[in-house]
Amino acid sequence: MFRIAHLSDPHIGPLPRPRLRELLGKRLTGYINWHRGRDRAHDMELLAALVEDIRNQAPDHVACTGDIANIGLPSEWEAARDFLAELGEPEAVSFVPGNHDAYIEGALEGMMGLCSPWTSDDSGAVARFPFVRRRGDVAFVGLSSAVPTAPFIAHGRMGRTQLQAAEKILADLGEEACFRVVMIHHPPHVAGASAGRNLTDARGFEAMIRKVGAELVLHGHNHIGTVATIPGPDGLVPVVGAPSASARGGAIVHRAAYYLFDISNGDDGFYVKAQLRGLLADGSIGFLENVSLARKSGGIRASLRRGRHAT
């Protein structure tokens, strides 16, 4: 069995005090929004408890799908690196960036300069997307949808070059009978987020999955726990979105949580059991629910390539 923990959108705080010259453009609106309520929405003590619970579940690998930073300040980059180190050694943790990590031009490059060990490819290349990290029968394919955007815009984009490279990688891994886990920050399906917050080339992503397939797609961005499906060549592919790992308030589905996936390889293919763990009513972190990855969509029940889902 291979166990994966998936968390997203920790939004590490408190926000460092910026220099005046660092608050030009979009950073100014983000700084104001942080102090108007985002600072209270993201609880670092809660995040620490959630990370401790992840450790207690002894995952073989941790997948973090972005938005460690808030407004892309240089002083946030070290906090991002320290957070990833808390999750685990680079060999046991994979990271893809989100829109807040690429808040303005140059921010993503600065973060990647410190966080590249958690995005290194099996080939040895660092800070390059897509990356591939093989862990036995499981292969993590990391994609970047993080691009700088105008104020009040939070969309993402992969771009044609990255899509083409990802298609070849997924096709090759499929021929090797790997369990392919795709990591991306923005919901990669067409209905995954509203205009201005969506992945602008989601149709291209769906076309790629329809052609070459994947076994599991993980994302963040919406700060809500979701399970959707998109068509693959051998059935529907589950697309799982994690809540913010540090969110204290809001509805139950918005509160801090993470997913655990237990993957086993049987005689007739892969099986997956999924659960959601997070903030309980008493303020502790624990088991919330078992999660079905076999949601019905268009009358077709989701199934894994060379296997099937278990709930």
Closest CA to 165 of 191, 137, 141, 186: 141
Share of the chain above pLDDT 70, in %: 86
Cβ-defined contacts of 148-153 (< 8 Å, 24+)? 148/26, 148/102, 148/103, 148/104, 148/105, 148/107, 148/108, 149/26, 149/99, 150/26, 151/25, 151/26, 151/29, 152/29, 152/196, 153/196
Residue 48, φ and ψ in degrees, nearest 5: -60, -40
**Token couple for 217:** 């797609």
Q: Which residues have C-beta within 8 Å of that of residue 172, sequence separation ≥ 6?
A: none
Whether the pLDDT of residue 36 is over 70: the answer is no
**Token couple for 26:** 């979009």
Superfamily of segment(s) 2-301? Metallo-dependent phosphatases (3.60.21.10)
* Other Cβ atoms closer than 10 A to 68: 26
pLDDT band at residue 308 using 50, 70 and 90 as cut-offs: very low
**Token couple for 241:** 């979105």
Closest CA to 215 of 263, 167, 172: 263
**pLDDT value at position 37?**
62
Cβ burial, residue 86 (10 Å; 0-12/13-18/19+): middle
Whether the pLDDT of residue 120 is over 70: the answer is yes
**Token couple for 33:** 């929004």
Whether the pLDDT of residue 309 is over 60: the answer is no
Alpha-helical regions (H) of 58-201: 74-87, 107-115, 160-175
**pLDDT value at position 289?**
95
Tell me the C-alpha distance between 210 and 13, whole Å. Answer: 39
Cα–Cα distance list, 306 to 211, 212, 292, 297, 298 (Å) = 16, 13, 18, 20, 21
pLDDT band at residue 35 using 50, 70 and 90 as cut-offs: low
Share of the chain above pLDDT 90, in %: 70
**Mean pLDDT over residues 206-210, rounded?**
98
pLDDT band at residue 232 using 50, 70 and 90 as cut-offs: very high
Whether the pLDDT of residue 295 is over 60: the answer is no
Residue 102, φ and ψ in degrees, nearest 5: -120, 40
